[in-house]
Amino acid sequence: MSYVSEVADLQISKYTNIGSLAILVFDYCITFQDEVHWTWSRPWGLIRVVFTISRYLPFVGSGMTAYAALRVGGSCPPSLAENIIHILSIVAAEGLLVIRTWAFWQKSKKMLIGLLIYSTATVIGAVAMNVLPNHQLISTDVSMIPGPCGFESSRNSALVYAILALFECVILALTAYKWFHDYRDSEIQSSIVTTVYGGSMLYMLCIIAITVTNVVVDAAFPVGFTNLFDTLQLVIHSVLASRILFHLRSSDSRAHETDMPLIVSAPRYGLPSQIQTKEITDETNEV
C-alpha cells in the first residue's frame, strides 16, 4: 500500500463520516414531529431518559468525529471523550431494544436477568477490546502516514463490532422466537402483530447489517478505511432505535382506537382462544 493510496482512503473515510452526520440531521428533521407526538407528552421515566440519550447524544459524537475529519493540518484518532460518547450512544440504543425484547417476553424476571447479564458482559467485552490500542489482535498492515495523526483506529474495532453483532443477533432471535411461537397458528394476523414484530425485526436486520459491515471493513480493508463507517454505525443505531419506538407507540394507539379482537390458537393445548389486541400492545407499552 502506497502513501498516496492511504491518503485517498482517508479522504473517503472523512467524507463518509461527514455524510453520515448529514443523514442524522436529515432524519431528525423528518421525524421531529413523531418525537413530539409520541414522547414529549409522556412523563419522564427510564424509557424516555434512554430514548433521549440515544436520540441526542449521537449528535455530539458525530459532530466530534466530523470536526476531527475536517481539522486543518490532519486528524488524530478518536479521543477518549469521543469514544465514550460513541459507546454511550450505542448502549442507549441497544438499551431500547433490550427493554422492547423484555416487554415481548411478558416482562419475565428470568428474561430480564438474562438480558442484563448478557448486556453487561457484552459492554465489558467490547470496552476491553477497545482499550487495547497497542496490542492488535488482528495482524495487518501499518499506516504509512508519519506521526500519531491519521484518522485511523485499531484493528481491534473489528472484534468490538463482532461482539456487538452477536448481541444483536441474540436480540433478533429472541424476538423472532416469540413471534413464531406465540402467533404462528393465528387464524387472523392483525396489523398490530405484524407491525410490532415484523417491523422491529426488519430494523434489527438493518442494524446487524451495518455492524457486520464494520467487522469486515475493519478486519479486511486497508488501514485507511478503519474509520469508514464509524459515524454511520452510531447514526443507524440512533435512527432505527427511535423509529422502532415511534412505530410501536403508533401501533399501540391504533390498536386502542380499533380494539379489534385477535384469534389465536393456544400453542400448548391446541384450543382456540380469543384475546384482545390490548394484550399484545400491553407488551409494548413500556417502550
* Positions of E strands within 118-245: none
Q: Is the pLDDT of residue 228 over 90?
A: no
Q: How many residues does the chain have?
A: 287
Higher pLDDT: 123 or 186? It is 123
Residues 6 or more apart whose CB falls under 8 angstroms from that of 200 comprise 100, 175, 244, 247, 248
Q: Is the pLDDT of residue 277 over 60?
A: no
Higher pLDDT: 156 or 177? It is 177
Contact assessment for residue 151 and residue 75, using Cβ atoms and an 8 Å cutoff? yes
How far is the CA of 66 from the CAs of 76, 144, 214, 270, in angstroms? 12, 23, 18, 57
Supply φ then ψ for residue 73, to 5 degrees: 90, 15
Contact assessment for residue 95 and residue 50, using Cβ atoms and an 8 Å cutoff? yes
Q: Report the sign of the C-alpha dihedral through residues 180, 181, 187, 188, in that order.
A: negative
Higher pLDDT: 156 or 159? It is 159
- For the chain, which domains are there? 3-181+191-249 (1.20.1070)
Contact assessment for residue 1 and residue 144, using Cβ atoms and an 8 Å cutoff? yes
pLDDT at 260: 43
Q: Is the pLDDT of residue 239 over 50?
A: yes
Q: Is the pLDDT of residue 256 over 70?
A: no
pLDDT at 269: 35
Contact assessment for residue 155 and residue 138, using Cβ atoms and an 8 Å cutoff? yes
Higher pLDDT: 78 or 47? It is 47
How far is the CA of 264 from the CAs of 109, 190, 192, 213, 277, in angstroms? 25, 10, 14, 39, 11
Q: Report the sign of the C-alpha dihedral through residues 48, 52, 54, 55, in that order.
A: positive
Considering 53-62, 74-83, 263-272, the range whose residues carry the highest mean pLDDT is: 53-62
pLDDT, tens digit, 9 for 90 and up, residues 2-21 = 666 777 888 888 899 999 99
Contact assessment for residue 237 and residue 54, using Cβ atoms and an 8 Å cutoff? yes
Helix (H, G, I), strand (E, B), or coil: what is residue 160?
A: helix
Mean pLDDT of the chain: 78
Predicted TM-score of the model (pTM):
0.79
Least confident of 34-38, 156-160, 256-260: 256-260
